[in-house]
Structure 1
Amino acid sequence: MSTFGFHTTAEEATIVLADEITGKKVLITGTSLNGLGFEAARTIAKHANLVIITGYNAERTRLKRSEVALKQEIPGANIRSLHLDLASLAAVRTAAAEVNAYKEDIHVLINNAASPVCGFKLTKDGYEQQIATDHLGPFLFTALILPKIIASHRATFTPRVVYVASGSHKWCDGMNFAEMEHPDASTYKAMTAYGQAKTANILTASELTRRAGGKINAYSLTPGGLTVGARYATISGRRIITEDGKPNMSAPLPWKTLPEGAATLVTAAFDPSLNDKPGCYLIHSAEDNQNVAPHASDPSQAEKLWTLSERLVGVKFL
């Protein structure tokens, strides 16, 4: 197995992992054209049996463009579109029902879709936009299609669920469970909310792995410092993206290209060297649990988050 690193691209990773990807059926959320999920889908589709891409209702046209672009570049690829609005629990249930009606099982689910850092906003269900889109929606979606994922389990293969988190989980001191259930505009801080949403991704990956008892391996990751979706974010008081849309090279962040960022999604989904590291966190396409903040690696917090999430979305699983 080749050694993956900071500059490994998704294309390079899929070439190395082609045998692992061949024949697999993969669902990737958040696949807008030229985004992180799209880049992962583009490379995986060259080898996989089926790639399901998603977009929310307001993005129907953009989702179709992604599908057309993939089929044009890879004429033999089996691409399927799914409308999935993670900010709406009702819409998540509708999308999950569609997936469960598929004749195929799902080998890999990559929970990539996420809300951009934003001001205080409530979803129709009354939850804060970032935690709803980045955690509660994916939590419910994963729960509802779990039978499809577990059905792909074999003696020689364990299905995977991947959560695209971020090193920005360190922007908070941990989960605020009270505000997760009862959002408060007066105390809301956009960057803290983003950090909590990404902390939730990491905690969920570890708890899902624990509860699955070997039936599913879950992983979380950071794609690294990308300019995608970071236009209004700041680090140490400095804008990540300048007014002209270019990376602020004075911000303390090592920048990656989109293909380099997408490589970690591919390795988390298929690298066999991770088989004996279920629940781990990846950086630069390799396991690196040392870079997980203590509040995102606390088993008691993971269990508490799981229990609360089940209650908020109205479903129990595992």
Structure 2
Amino acid sequence: MSSYPTFSFHTTADEVATAFSEIIAGKNVLVTGTSLNGIGFDTARVIAKYANLVVITGYNEDRLKLTEEAIKKEIPSANIRRLILDLSSLAAVRSAAAEVNSWPEPLHVLINNAAAIIAPFKLTVDNLENQIATGHIGPFLLTKLLTPKLLAAHSATYTPRVVFLSSVGHALSPGINFATLGHPDEKQFQSMAAYYDTKAANVLTAVELSRRAKGRVLAYSLHPGAIFTKIMQKEEAPAGLQAIGVLDEKGQPKDESIFKSIPQGAATTVVAAFDPRIEGAAGAYLNDCVLANELVSAFCSDPANADKLWEVTEEIIGEKFEFSS
């Protein structure tokens, strides 16, 4: 393992994928949220160079086709499969998961990349707050339903992985209000707070998934870095990011040196998905392509909070997420 390179803030997803090309070879990977010019797209693109199968997802068929076309234009040999997935709808998640479970292939890596735009209060079809539904509850259900596919990939020499894209913003959450998670209260809602809570939920879910899986599945959460993607430029995101000093009064990056390119932003995801050096750190949080548990907030470092979130989310989806002994 000492032959693998050292990664950093500046490392690109292409560099990580090249380093782990032999590990990626033969793997089947599902990436949520793969629209063009996003982190998920670049993640899928670099993995598709070496993987057996890359499943790309989105709720818009036309945009999903554009993603597939862009990847195949660069990598004609890429094996891409499109999956319509609306994470804001529990019924839609169940439908998409049923389709995946009908396929013959096992699933080696599930990358929960998708997130909702930071926006005003909005209820989903299930009467859940849209950000937490799309960024946590939907991915939780998807992961639960695809776990048999992941376990089918387990062998004496390989352990499947689940990756959750979080953010350093998780540390700005004072603590998830478990009482309103399934019963949102518009009067208590703040768009940036909902974003922070969602990212905190991602960290907690990775911790608890790894604990409950007992080595059969490895889960990780990560901060991809500050990347000036479309999600930073829509709805209420600019005002919220201005308030914490990330964007200037014109909605542009205040300090270019802290921002990453999209290829740099996708790099930590690929590390979490394939780096063999982190196998012994299940549930860990990564930043700049390396383990960074010291950056995890006190709330997200408390195992009791991880257990509580798991149980509350099970109640919301109406299903137990358990690993048979």
Q: TM-score when scaled to structure 2?
A: 0.94
Matching residue of 2:254: 248
Contact 2:242 / 2:251 at 8 angstroms: preserved in 1? Answer: no
CA distance in 2, matches of 1:243, 1:42: 34
User: In structure 1, what is the equivalent of residue 206 of structure 2?
Assistant: 205
Q: CA deviation at 1:239?
A: 6.4
1:230 aligns with 2:236: no
Letter in 1 for 2:111: I
C-alpha distance after superposition, 1:137-158 (max 9, x if no partner): 0000111111001100001000
Instruction: State the match for 1:291 in structure 2.
Output: 295
Alignment-derived partner of residue 27 in structure 1: 30
Q: Is residue 53 of structure 1 aligned with residue 56 of structure 2?
A: yes
Letter paired with 1:169: H
Shift of 1:235: 4.1
CA contact (8 A) 1:241 1:248 kept: yes
Q: Secondary structure at the match of 1:296?
A: coil
Aligned twin of 1:156: 157
Is the 8 Å Cα contact of residues 246 and 254 (structure 2) preserved in structure 1? yes
**What RMSD, in angstroms, separates the aligned Cα atoms of the two structures?**
1.4
Q: Give the distance between the partners of 2:118 and 2:248, measured in 1 at CA.
A: 16
Deviation, structure 1 residue 254: 1.3
Equivalence map 1:128-147=2 (5 Å): 128-147=129-148
Aligned residues of 1:227 and 1:241 also touching (Cα < 8 A)? no
Offset at residue 41 of structure 1 (A): 0.6
**Aligned residue for 2:108?**
107
Distance in 2 between residues matched to 1:242 and 1:76, nearest whole Å: 43
C-alpha distance in 2 between matches for 1:279 and 1:249: 31
Q: How much has 1:248 moved relative to structure 2? A: 2.6
State the identity as a percent. 52
Q: Are the structure 2 counterparts of residues 236 and 55 from structure 1 closer, same or farther at C-alpha, using a change threshold of 3 Å?
A: closer
Mapped contact 2:241–2:247 kept (Cα < 8 A):
no
The alpha carbon displacement at 1:246 in A equals: 3.5
d(CA) in 1 for partners of 2:20 and 2:252?
33
Matching of residues 179-190 of structure 1 within 5 Å: 179-190=180-191
| Structure 1 residue 20, shift from structure 2 partner | 1.0
Supply the distance in 2 between the matched residues of 1:25 and 1:243 (Cα, whole angstroms): 44
TM-score normalized with structure 1 length = 0.96
Q: For residues 255 and 244 of structure 2, what CA distance do their matches in structure 1 show?
A: 10
Checking the alignment, whether the CA contact within 8 Å between 2:242 and 2:248 is kept in structure 1 is no
Q: Is 1:13 matched with 2:13?
A: no
- Cα distance between partner residues in 2 of 1:29 and 1:241: 27
Distance 1:311 1:214 in 2: 25
Equivalent runs, 1:292-311 vs 2, <5 Å: 292-311=296-315
Per mean C-alpha deviation after superposition, the further-off stretch among 210-219 and 181-190 is 181-190
Q: Residue 32 of structure 1 contacts residue 66 of structure 1 at CA under 8 Å; is this kept in 2?
A: yes
Contact 1:230 1:241 in 2 (8 A): no
Contact 1:227 1:240 in 2 (8 A): no
Q: Distance in 1 between matches of 2:173 and 2:242?
A: 14
What SS class does the counterpart of residue 67 from structure 1 fall into? helix
The match for 2:39 is 36
CA-to-aligned-CA distance 1:80-107 (integer Å, 9 cap, x gap): 0000000000000000000000110000
Counterpart AA for 2:42: E
Shift of 1:175: 0.8
- What residue in structure 1 maps to residue 67 of structure 2? 66
| Equivalent position of 1:79 in the other structure | 80
Q: Compute the displacement of 1:171 (Å).
A: 2.1
- Matched position secondary structure for 1:295: coil
**Contact 1:143–1:315, Cα closer than 8 Å, also in 2:** no
Instruction: Give the number of equivalent residue pairs.
Output: 314
CA shift at 1:249, angstroms?
A: 2.5
